[in-house]
Structure 1
Amino acid sequence: MGKEKKKFKSGIATSFITRASAVKRLQLNLVNFRRLCILKGVYPVEPKSIKKAGKGQKLHRTYFRFKDIQFLAHEPIVQKFRDHRVFVRKVRKAKAKREWTSLDRLNRNEPKYKLDHIVKERYPTFVDALRDLEDPLTLCSLFSTFRKNAKVKSEVLPLCRRLVVEFMNYVIASRSLKKVFLSIKGIYFQVEIEGQLLTWLIPYNFGYSVPGDVDLKIMSTFTEFYTTLLGFVNFKLFTSLNLHYPPKLSTVVQSTKSEADQVEDDETVDDLIGSFVHDLVKVNQGSSIDDEEDEANQQDQDQEEALIAGGTVDEETVKKAREERDEMKRFKKLFEGCKFFLSREVPREAITFVIRCFGGQVSWDKTMFVGAPYEVSDETITHQIVDRPQQEKQYLSRYYIQPQWVFDCVNARRLVPLEDYFPGVSLPPHLSPFVEEKEGSYRPPERLAGQDETKKTESDEDNEEEIGEEEIIGESENEEDLEEGQSSDEEDDDDETSIEEAEKKRLQQLSKQAQKQKMKLSVAAGEVEKTNPIWEAEKLARMERGLQEMMIPKKRKRLYDRLMKKKKEQAKEVRKLKEKRLKYDQEQKAKKKMTGT
């Protein structure tokens, strides 16, 4: 006889542990336990059987995997948390006894910990860190807009601001921005770094208060880990572009700053770096980013030629790859040659960041922010971005446009027409570039019009060379046709009159013969039934689809029904959106008629 298995001594009952048991096992309080789980990336799980995990009890509790708790028990930070708990107790006692010397000694020796080893443990490769960079950028951008708060450490807010500005400066230097979208929540940015797409959200700079139902202590714990991660990533990104880290400004900017302010402090340098209009210093000044891109393009061309020679890749695929590379190169230089000036009512940071990512020059009023390169009176300014219908002084040498034009140009990957963005004009809808268009989905007319314009521009560029040859050939053919046509016109006029008279006589004879036949015959002729070939084809397709549905086995029939139901719901939603758009267009036309425009 074998040993009897004891109940709840194996299986799910031993694989999970409750939160209270985990806190007791690690000898931590609940606050430090939560902080440790956030830093190490350990989160609660829901077991398949709550009764077995609870050893016969069906109470809904918070469960963790037992292996994860064993993994946390060997973390060195656990001892630091215990030491900090003892430190807080000693500080409280010293304050109660008014022992100020011992209190100063305790504050100097406060136990601190670092998270470098945890970052290396959770992200063994740099690509892993890039994939998980969206949440750190979004949360650090949010904390950079906070005011000083008792629940958040005072040094965390400027640190978040500095790290976000450094990352945005890297995006400007590498020109890796792809998409921008203005939403109610904030501004969405998408970049591509080493083949990884990163999308993060930057809130608007509005004055707001932190809601009371948000636990800032938990958010600050996440921020503590994310700032360490973002610091590692920024260092790696800056060194990949041969830039100094922490970033430094060029000597020209430093000299102008010293002449203007006569004070060289870290805050002014940070503000100049956060203006996004000054180039950063490189470690080796010999090579520029454009030279590195040219070298990379030359290497790609050499590889493509080698692949074509080896016969591993077709010429068509290589041609498509070259066209995509050339298009991306043109897209990165979208605003090159354009010189912008921002009015006071325009959001400076977001627009400056977008314009600088595509090679444009930007400036603003000196009273807005430090580091303005040129004044509003500069005659070389090509575009002035305003958000008011009227301006006090206007220059004839520049265009006045609304801020949405910049973002729509980036999403359209071309300079869209300026007429729809003049001051006081009702703006076109700002479409999201993150919407994935699927078959059968709704497409607004503005998106279709933009796609048609891009196709026209591409076809015009491709046909420029062909048009030149066709014009030369066409001119010679037209001259010959004109000479022949002059001699043949006179003969055609005489022939037309005789042909018309003959046709009239023939038709009269045919009508007389038809009347005689109707009088002789007593049976009426039947009419041929007219059929529409399109309807017949659709009917045949429906019959074939019905036969195919009958042959589906029962196991797959439910899945098929769900797919068809989803397809019908999507078609219904598209129909509703089209009806709404039609109603909106009719209302706009009625408004224009009322106003008389």
Structure 2
Amino acid sequence: MVSKKKKKYSSGEGAQFMTRKAALKKLQLSLKDFRRICILKGIYPREPRNRKRAQKGAGGIKTLYHTKDIKFLLHEPIIWKLRDLKVYQQKIRRARSMREYGKMRKYFRDYPEINIDHIVKERYPTFVDALRDLDDCLTLCFLFSTFPSLKRVPRDQSLLCRRLTVEFMHAVIVAKALRKVFISVKGYYYQAELEGQTITWIVPHHFSFQPQSKDEVDFKIMSTFVEFYIMMLGFVNFKLFNSLNLVYPPKLTAGFSSDSEKDLVDEQAYVSERIAAMNLSLAKVAGANEVEEVPEIDIFDTGDNDPQKLEEAKQEAEKVKILKTLFKGLRFFLNREVPREPLVFIIRCFGGEVSWDRDHFVGATFDESDESIAYQIVDRPSMDKQYLSRYYVQPQWVFDSVNARTLLPINKYLMGAVLPPHLSPFIDKTKDQVYIPPEQRALNDPEYKPPGDDESDEEVEEASDEDKEEQSEPDSDDNAEEALTKQYQAEVAQDSASDDDSDDGDDSVDPEKKKIAKEKKKNMAVKTGVPHKEHPYQKEIEDKQAFRLREKLVRKKHRNLYKSMKAGQEKRKQEIWLLRKKRRLHDEKAKEEKKAEKRKQKMKALDAASA
């Protein structure tokens, strides 16, 4: 019996992958609808091991999808909704062309809506799964919340993003879940911890929106992502508010409803309304108790009973407990020139109270003349009217205090002072090839002193002078060691001589044995060591040769991966070297400027004295 010949590319990678054109043909969708359904369902192109086999022998580079993913989409009910939408669009177009406006209004009234609730439940079966994937969702929603009405971004979408992001920030405030903050060129980085999951997101700076002339960003695709993220964030907010015993949806200000047309046009009014909402306490569920504090850490019997890890976990829990009440009982007043939204959010997260000038912005809770204000945040060189009962600090003090988990001394953050570097708290301690600035090293190691410090430079010079003096003086320890060695050798020689005399007097001992005993004693005597001069780079050369031999043992299939790893290491080394060089040049320039300033002051003093 002749066996049937197996068709090429019917198994293996040829059958596992499908091109985008084949997927569109199978699903009978347009490219626009296919992109939308893939974004909503979380299906993305894949990279095959062997592209030629996956493309069934075709050349070039094509967009490939897993065949199982495309078959999975065949049973999605949204596809039928998309087809219904297409039918209604054709009916509306026909009614408009025929000028049947009554029918057109009817079609608009019965226009089908797409509901994606089931997709959120399908992609995130548990609440923890949704929290784990919340980083991109928050970043994109905060970005869209700053947009005005754009051509490809629906007006309601931006309004919904504004409301949902403020609700999430309220949940973080009540849960006291904020852990780290950082200011960068991109915006404000925040990191919160909810249900044991670490969530990091970026909030952009509030600048006036300037539309670009070129369409470099596809807002349509981004809007499709936001369509799914809005639904997801709504579910997350509902669950968070219920767990915190808060009423959902909260009653926010008028700026978050589409009825107010003023807020859609006036950006300043929107920002004021948003921050006013941040400064208000939310209503709790009637009869609900306060949210319980996190209990002390339980010690479970794990596989590796490492007491050091348990101790570190306990210390971390204590630090977090202190951090939650960092600003408790303190009142802050914000000047009009400082960024209000991040400061209000951060201070309220750690138990503080905030206010500002009620004549300029809405939502103020107390006046500037209130004597209970502990800190006033200012960003100007001086102020005419100052109160003795409070400290005047710059905004960076709040951010650095949160990252340090304690109220830092205000000496370096006073009005008009040159601020210290704002260090990023997002440092991965497990990575070894990371550039650590001198200020970060000084924080990690109290004994370390930055190279730019004048006192440390003087100490280094003094230490080098002492080393020179020690080198010029004779080494007393070496002399003492040599004297002890000589004394020991003399004692051994004396003992051997006395033994020889006693052996001569004893005739009963065999002369052969005497001879062997004398040789043994000679071998046991301490001799002066002969210094062996080693090649200074011999060990390094041998290590390199041994490393090259070990590299040759890497298997052929892993060789490319190993090469890419080594290239990555070299690239990181180069980046670290470049950053150190930049820092060194910066420090040298600052030192020269400082010296020039001192010279100018001396010349002015001499001119004044001579005059």
Please tell me the TM-score bracket, short chain as reference.
0.7 to 0.9
Cα contact 1:441–1:570 (8 A) shared by 2: no
Q: TM-score scaled to structure 1, two decimals?
A: 0.75
Correspondence for 1:242: 245
Correspondence for 1:519: none
Change in 2 beyond 3 A, CA 1:53/1:553:
closer
Counterpart code for 1:593:
K
Change in 2 beyond 3 A, CA 1:327/1:14:
closer
Change in 2 beyond 3 A, CA 1:541/1:396:
farther
Cα contact 2:433–2:573 (8 A) shared by 1: no
- Which structure 2 residues correspond to residues 383-394 of structure 1 after superposition, within 5 A? 383-394=375-386
Correspondence for 1:495: none
Aligned residues: 497
- Which structure 2 residues correspond to residues 445-460 of structure 1 after superposition, within 5 A? 445-451=438-444
Correspondence for 1:412: 404
**Cα shift readout 1:486-518 (whole Å, capped 9, x = no counterpart):** xxxxxxxxxxxxxxxxxxxxxxxxxxxxxxxxx
What displacement does 1:339 show? 0.9
Correspondence for 1:428: 420
Find the aligned partners of 2:193 and 2:151 in 1 and give their Cα distance.
Answer: 37
Partner SS state of residue 97, structure 2: helix
Correspondence for 2:566: 562
Find the aligned partners of 1:420 and 1:273 in 2 and give their Cα distance.
Answer: 28
Find the aligned partners of 2:433 and 2:216 in 1 and give their Cα distance.
Answer: 42
Is 1:443 the counterpart of 2:446? The answer is: no
Partner SS state of residue 295, structure 2: helix
Match for 2:337 among 340, 345, 365? 345
What displacement does 1:333 show? 1.1
Cα contact 2:15–2:54 (8 A) shared by 1: yes
Larger displacement relative to structure 2 (580-589 or 144-153): 580-589
**Cα shift readout 1:370-423 (whole Å, capped 9, x = no counterpart):** 321111111111111111223242222211111111111111111122122222
Counterpart code for 2:295:
N
Cα contact 2:275–2:340 (8 A) shared by 1: no
Change in 2 beyond 3 A, CA 1:540/1:19:
closer
What displacement does 1:220 show? 0.5
User: Which ranges in structure 1 are unaligned for 5 or more consecutive residues?
Assistant: 251-266, 456-527
Find the aligned partners of 2:9 and 2:319 in 1 and give their Cα distance.
Answer: 64
Match for 1:281 among 273, 280, 283? 283
Change in 2 beyond 3 A, CA 1:74/1:316:
closer
* Pairwise CA RMSD: 3.6
Correspondence for 2:195: 194
> Post-superposition, which runs of at least 4 consecutive aligned residues in structure 1 deviate over 6 A?
310-317, 528-531, 535-541
Change in 2 beyond 3 A, CA 1:67/1:240:
same
**Cα shift readout 1:36-92 (whole Å, capped 9, x = no counterpart):** 111111112233444434444314322222221111111101111111111111112
Find the aligned partners of 1:596 and 1:376 in 2 and give their Cα distance.
Answer: 39
Partner SS state of residue 553, structure 2: helix
Change in 2 beyond 3 A, CA 1:360/1:547:
same
Change in 2 beyond 3 A, CA 1:271/1:93:
same
Partner SS state of residue 28, structure 1: coil
Find the aligned partners of 2:161 and 2:142 in 1 and give their Cα distance.
Answer: 7
Match for 1:373 among 357, 361, 365? 365
Cα contact 1:272–1:371 (8 A) shared by 2: no
Partner SS state of residue 202, structure 1: strand
Correspondence for 2:473: none
Cα contact 1:238–1:245 (8 A) shared by 2: yes
Counterpart code for 1:89:
Q
- Which structure 2 residues correspond to residues 6-45 of structure 1 after superposition, within 5 A? 6-45=7-46
Cα contact 1:442–1:577 (8 A) shared by 2: no
Find the aligned partners of 2:600 and 2:305 in 1 and give their Cα distance.
Answer: 62
Change in 2 beyond 3 A, CA 1:554/1:148:
same
Find the aligned partners of 1:279 and 1:537 in 2 and give their Cα distance.
Answer: 74
Find the aligned partners of 1:288 and 1:54 in 2 and give their Cα distance.
Answer: 60
- Which structure 2 residues correspond to residues 112-191 of structure 1 after superposition, within 5 A? 112-191=113-192
Change in 2 beyond 3 A, CA 1:548/1:137:
same
**Cα shift readout 1:407-447 (whole Å, capped 9, x = no counterpart):** 11111111122122222222211111113355575432322
Change in 2 beyond 3 A, CA 1:210/1:555:
farther
- Which structure 2 residues correspond to residues 26-105 of structure 1 after superposition, within 5 A? 26-105=27-106
Find the aligned partners of 2:71 and 2:591 in 1 and give their Cα distance.
Answer: 67
Cα contact 1:272–1:370 (8 A) shared by 2: no
Cα contact 2:167–2:250 (8 A) shared by 1: yes
**Cα shift readout 1:106-160 (whole Å, capped 9, x = no counterpart):** 1111110111100111111222111110011000000000001231112101100
Find the aligned partners of 1:139 and 1:49 in 2 and give their Cα distance.
Answer: 34
Change in 2 beyond 3 A, CA 1:332/1:538:
farther
Cα contact 1:191–1:198 (8 A) shared by 2: yes
Identity of aligned residues (%): 48
Find the aligned partners of 2:317 and 2:47 in 1 and give their Cα distance.
Answer: 48
Q: TM-score scaled to structure 2, two decimals?
A: 0.73
What displacement does 1:552 show? 3.0
User: Which ranges in structure 2 are unaligned for 5 or more consecutive residues?
Assistant: 254-268, 449-527, 603-611
Change in 2 beyond 3 A, CA 1:555/1:190:
same
What displacement does 1:591 show? 5.0
Change in 2 beyond 3 A, CA 1:137/1:368:
farther
Correspondence for 2:524: none
Find the aligned partners of 1:220 and 1:595 in 2 and give their Cα distance.
Answer: 59
Correspondence for 1:254: none
